[in-house]
Amino acid sequence: MKILHYEKNFHYTDRELLLVVRKIGTLATYCKRLKDDGSSIRIDVENRATKKERDQLKMMVTIEIPGKTLRAESRKSTITEAIERCCEKLEPQLKKYKDMHSKKVRTKKRA
């Protein structure tokens, strides 16, 4: 699994980077294919000058798994809130992917 970080007008502190890695690591528990070499996770963070303070930080997480691309986007005021919201959006997508993939494997074994 490759994790790629892209930052625009933003720099992670050590604590924030550890938090992001932990949250992404918990996503890997939902699907074994996420740990493969063929999968990658791209995290884009952008600090924007907006009128609303709660929308200043824009985070996009893209997960590329063999045969599927999952994506979540969040606009929050802190990196903690943004990564938590992205993980909340990605969990059901990963569970659905896992269920669909495991059903295909089961049907192949029975036939």
Tens of pLDDT along the chain (111 residues)?
788 889 898 888 889 889 998 998 888 887 777 777 888 899 999 988 888 878 889 999 999 988 889 999 999 989 999 999 999 999 999 989 888 877 655 555 555
CATH topology of domain 2-110: Double Stranded RNA Binding Domain (3.30.160)
Beta strands in the chain (DSSP E): 2-8, 40-47, 57-65, 68-76
Cβ atoms of 72 and 90 closer than 8 Å: yes
Backbone region of residue 95 per phi and psi (left: phi > 0; alpha: psi in -120 to 50; beta: other values): alpha
H or E segment at 92? helix 79-110
Domain ranges (residues) in the chain: 2-110
Q: Which of 70, 11, 18 lies closest to 40, judged by CA? A: 70
Q: What is the reported pLDDT for 51? A: 81
